[in-house]
Amino acid sequence: MAEATPPEAAAPAAPAAEAEEQVVNPWEVKTGSNQGIDYDKLIRQFGSSKVSPELLERFERLTGKPPHRFLRRGVFFSHRDLSSILDAYEKKEPFYLYTGRGPSSQSMHLGHLIPFIFTKYLQDAFNVPLVVQLTDDEKFLWKNLTAEECHDLAYKNAKDIIACGFDVDKTFIFSDFDYMGSCPDFYRNVVKVQKCVTLNQARAIFGFADTDCIGKVSFPAIQAVPAFSTSFPDIFGREKNVKKVKCLIPCAIDQDPYFRMTRDVAHRLGHCKPALIHSTFFPALQGSQTKMSASDGNSSIFLTDTAKQIQKKVNKEAFSGGRVSVEEHRKYGGDTTVDVAYKYLTFFLDDDAKLQQIKEDYEAGRMLTGELKKELIGVLQAMVAEHQERRATVTDELLKQFMTPRPLCRAA
């Protein structure tokens, strides 16, 4: 008889019609709807909880920080046990943040920025340590890249991450290729997780096939263990109570399968279950049927793009919710539920009143598609230029500081 699937590890199977309509897993995101992924359906399928107004009110009351626009607008929309992190913060119990990046391109794109912008906000709000995992090993296993290329990309991407403004005294960034070989505690936790998960369970969670290499099957344990404080003895020490240090993981919801598995094995290994807060996907320029991809230069705006390249990509590639003619658009208005330029503004335009005015004007036909794209181009050009200026200040010495295992400052 096949072994039982862990209670959190495998999401309930969707009906066949729904499964064809949208696919969400760590390697593929797509839907047949121009409006994008149905996130309410995804919450039901994955068994997570919606971020409620009451949770946001408690967050603001405890931290004294107004909710980030990503919270106000439902970009981070789903969670697992976020209340337990707020409980820990209220009781002044230690916890930390963990997020990551799979380095597969020379430069990160706008979609890659989402978790890091939000994690920076959380680090400031909670005043806690952060670990950032660079899964160069994962990209070697899944992409047509050499191990050396993936390792080099990890260091290049780390500079983009640092440029988001993280506090070097509270942040440790590590490459799996480097850290797995230098920290016995980390590798020991990896093997413990691997022993807890059967091949049947891994197949049920991740859909591995007989033709997949064994490296892919073993990798999820490597992504799991940064959620365990004992994986970082330089940060948290080796005292008996270290296992009680909780972890909050901000990530896109396609990464949730990794952490359903992690949460299932955590208590068996004596650790707290990690809490998660999930983001929606940043759509490709061509529309919301899929997320922005680093492998398709025309679907993405990269952090190395010039102002002219940004203008050209938005004007040429961004899917429009406008009508076929100016006359029809003036009469019937545009559709913000499918318009990519408007969707991008919901991520990056901080002014709620201005965003609402743009929405009303576009839907009423008072604003044309070209005018909406012009608004977005200005926002993106300024944001990317500022990022490029910050990245230019990230020296190799600063990079080394971030990537050196060491004690990190923790809230008093």
**pLDDT grade, residue 21 (50/70/90)?**
confident
CA-wise closest residue to 134 among 117, 120, 122, 116: 116
Which one is predicted more confidently, 144 or 28? 144
Secondary structure in 3-state letters for 18-73: HHHHEEEECCEEEECCCCCCCHHHHHHHHCCEECCHHHHHHHHHHHCCCCCHHHHC
Cα–Cα distance measured from residue 369 to residue 365, given in angstroms and rounded to the nearest whole number? 9
**Residue 12 confidence (pLDDT):** 41
The yes-or-no verdict on residue 5 having pLDDT over 80 is: no
Burial 106-125 (b: 16+ CB within 10 A, else e): ebbbbbbbbbbbbbbbbbbb
φ/ψ (deg, to 5) at 203: -65, -40
CA-wise closest residue to 56 among 35, 76, 33: 76
Q: Cα Rg for the chain, rounded, in angstroms?
A: 21
Domains and CATH numbers, the chain: 23-284 (3.40.50.620), 295-392 (1.10.240.10)
Cα–Cα distance measured from residue 157 to residue 162, given in angstroms and rounded to the nearest whole number? 9
Residue 159 is classified by DSSP as H
Distance of CA 331 to the CA centre of its chain: 39
**pLDDT grade, residue 164 (50/70/90)?**
very high
The yes-or-no verdict on residue 130 having pLDDT over 80 is: yes
Torsion 296-297-299-305 (CA) sign: positive
**Residue 305 confidence (pLDDT):** 96
Q: Are 408 and 173 in contact (CB under 8 A)?
A: no
The yes-or-no verdict on residue 303 having pLDDT over 80 is: yes
Cα–Cα distance measured from residue 246 to residue 224, given in angstroms and rounded to the nearest whole number? 14
**The tokens 């890091």 sit on which residue?**
116
pLDDT tens by residue, 175-218: 999 999 999 999 999 999 999 999 999 999 999 999 999 999 99
**Residue 165 confidence (pLDDT):** 97
Neighbours of 379 (CB within 10 A): 19
The yes-or-no verdict on residue 9 having pLDDT over 70 is: no
**Residue 173 confidence (pLDDT):** 98
**Residue 24 confidence (pLDDT):** 85
Cα–Cα distance measured from residue 6 to residue 261, given in angstroms and rounded to the nearest whole number? 8
**Residue 292 confidence (pLDDT):** 55
Cα–Cα distance measured from residue 273 to residue 250, given in angstroms and rounded to the nearest whole number? 14
- Over residues 350-361, the mean pLDDT reads 97
**Residue 35 confidence (pLDDT):** 74
Cα–Cα distance measured from residue 51 to residue 247, given in angstroms and rounded to the nearest whole number? 18
Secondary structure in 3-state letters for 89-142: HHCCCCEEEEEEECCCCCCCEHHHHHHHHHHHHHHHHHCCCEEEEECHHHHHHH
**Residue 244 confidence (pLDDT):** 93
Output the pTM of the full model. 0.91
Which token pair is 116? 């890091």
**Residue 409 confidence (pLDDT):** 86
